[in-house]
């Protein structure tokens, strides 16, 4: 890919067009390399390094195509105030040009017993990154994102997920209407629901979580015939942060 096109990957429309996204820094590159052992399409990632990172890349990230660039060009690729010395241009598995290269035998990302977490129009990159990281920690969860949700390959999401996106199956642009055809039973959180500590909470196929401000549309919940559950608290405040609510629910489901 031409350098001028790589620079454009900060924008979602170009990530979609070119089928790649960027990740920055040593930790994420190391996570990328580990993931490439089982997800073969990742081996076509390209590393961009400044001269002082050439040795590190040869020692820790062997096997990837590596391109040395100036610090000025690195700053053009970086999404941070202090650019790192290493950035990877990574293929999207969902892009038509990359799907045929994906290792479909990877059981981490393709498991029929996975529970599904559905996020409706989540907007905060930090929330989404934290949720992805939690799902990767506990394992055996698939993440479904509605249309108009923040892009999971947004640089801020990628940074906050800390490489967890390599270990969670993520589906984008999944409409609420499509869920009813795909799943039989749904659960969601509500102040008036049954306690999530109830054994019943673990009996559902899909768990719905809404936008940070608006939640899941009430008419959609009624159409899905979803069951309400609640995380009990002191009552001092009237809501939980979205990522906190998902994290506590996932912990309960993993008990």
Is the domain covering 3-99 a CATH 3.30.1330.30 domain?
Answer: yes
Q: What's the rounded Cα separation, in Å, for the pair 10 and 174?
A: 23
Q: Where are the beta strands (DSSP E) in 210-252?
A: 227-230
Mean pLDDT across 96-117: 57
Mean of per-residue pLDDT scores for the chain: 89
| 117 phi/psi in degrees, rounded to 5 | -105, 120
CA distances from residue 243 to 51, 120, 155, 176, 239 in whole angstroms, order as listed: 39, 13, 18, 20, 12
Mean pLDDT across 132-146: 96
Q: How many helices (H) and strands (E) does the chain have?
A: 11, 10
Q: What's the rounded Cα separation, in Å, for the pair 244 and 247?
A: 5
Predicted local distance difference test score (pLDDT) of residue 188: 92
For the chain, the domains span 3-99, 115-253
As assigned by CATH, the class of the 115-253 domain is alpha beta
Predicted local distance difference test score (pLDDT) of residue 137: 96
Of 236 and 157, the structure prediction assigns the larger pLDDT to 157
Predicted local distance difference test score (pLDDT) of residue 105: 37
For residue 28, pLDDT over 60 is answered with yes
DSSP alpha helix (H) spans, 54-107: 54-60, 71-77, 96-99
pLDDT in tens, 50-98: 999 999 999 988 889 999 999 999 999 998 888 889 999 999 986 454 4
For residue 238, pLDDT over 50 is answered with yes
Sequence-separated (6 or more) residues with CB below 8 Å from residue 187: 201, 204, 206, 207, 208, 226, 227, 228, 229
**Which residues, listed in sequence order, are joined to residue 169 by a DSSP beta bridge?**
142
Q: Calculate the CA 218 to chain-centre distance.
A: 26
pLDDT in tens, 74-83: 999 998 888 8
Q: What's the rounded Cα separation, in Å, for the pair 252 and 151?
A: 27
pLDDT confidence band for 100 (50 / 70 / 90): very low
Mean pLDDT across 165-193: 91
């Amino acid at each position: 890919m031409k350098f001028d096109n790589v620079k454009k990957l900060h924008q979602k429309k170009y990530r979609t067009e070119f089928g790649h996204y960027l990740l920055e820094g040593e930790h994420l590159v190391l996570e990328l390399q580990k993931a490439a052992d089982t997800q073969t399409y990742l081996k076509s990632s390209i590393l961009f390094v400044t001269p002082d990172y050439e040795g590190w890349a040869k020692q820790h990230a062997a096997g990837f195509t590596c391109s040395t660039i100036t610090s000025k060009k690195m700053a053009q690729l970086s999404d941070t105030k202090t650019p790192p010395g290493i950035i990877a241009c990574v293929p999207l598995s969902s892009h038509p040009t990359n799907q045929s290269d994906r290792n479909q035998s990877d059981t981490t990302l393709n498991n029929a017993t996975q529970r599904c977490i559905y996020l409706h129009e989540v907007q905060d990159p930090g929330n989404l990154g934290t949720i992805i990281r939690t799902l990767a920690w506990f394992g055996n969860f698939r993440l479904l994102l509605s249309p108009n949700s923040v892009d999971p390959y947004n640089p801020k999401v990628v940074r906050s997920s800390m490489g967890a996106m390599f270990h969670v199956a993520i589906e984008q642009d999944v409409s609420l209407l499509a869920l009813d055809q795909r799943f039989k039973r749904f659960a969601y959180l509500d102040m008036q629901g049954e306690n999530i500590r109830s054994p019943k909470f673990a009996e559902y196929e899909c768990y719905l979580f809404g936008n940070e401000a608006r939640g899941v549309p009430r008419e959609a919940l009624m159409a899905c015939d979803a069951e309400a559950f609640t995380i009990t608290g002191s009552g001092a405040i009237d809501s939980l942060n979205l990522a906190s609510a998902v994290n506590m629910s996932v912990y309960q489901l993993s008990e």
